[in-house]
């Protein structure tokens, strides 16, 4: 089992101000794409494709959006906490 205890500062975003789910996922996808050298639209499409199968929301304001992308060979993770409205 792989754990993500060693996230660098660039992998962590706190108090991200967004206008909703699409905006939040777009910003997260952009950041992951920049880090991996992938196209941000491809990352976002992967996240939305997974989201269409069923919500990745756990509850109490927590979600674990994710995607399986053939263009990467090892897991990539980030942590984002949205700003309170």
Catalytic residue among 21, 45, 50, 66, which?
A: 66
- Contact at 8 Å (CB) between 78 and 7? yes
| Residue 22 annotated as catalytic | no
40/30 Cα distance (integer angstroms): 5
35/29 Cα distance (integer angstroms): 10
- Read off the tokens for 13: 């975003």
The catalytic site residues sit at 66
């Amino acid at each position: 089992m792989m754990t993500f205890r060693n996230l660098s500062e660039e992998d962590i975003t706190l108090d991200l101000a967004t206008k909703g789910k699409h905006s939040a996922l777009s910003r997260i996808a952009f950041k992951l794409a920049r880090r991996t050298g992938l196209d941000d639209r491809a990352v976002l499409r992967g996240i939305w494709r997974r989201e269409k199968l069923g919500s990745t929301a756990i509850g109490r304001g927590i979600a674990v959006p994710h995607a399986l992308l053939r263009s990467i060979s090892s897991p990539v993770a980030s942590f984002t906490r949205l700003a309170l409205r």
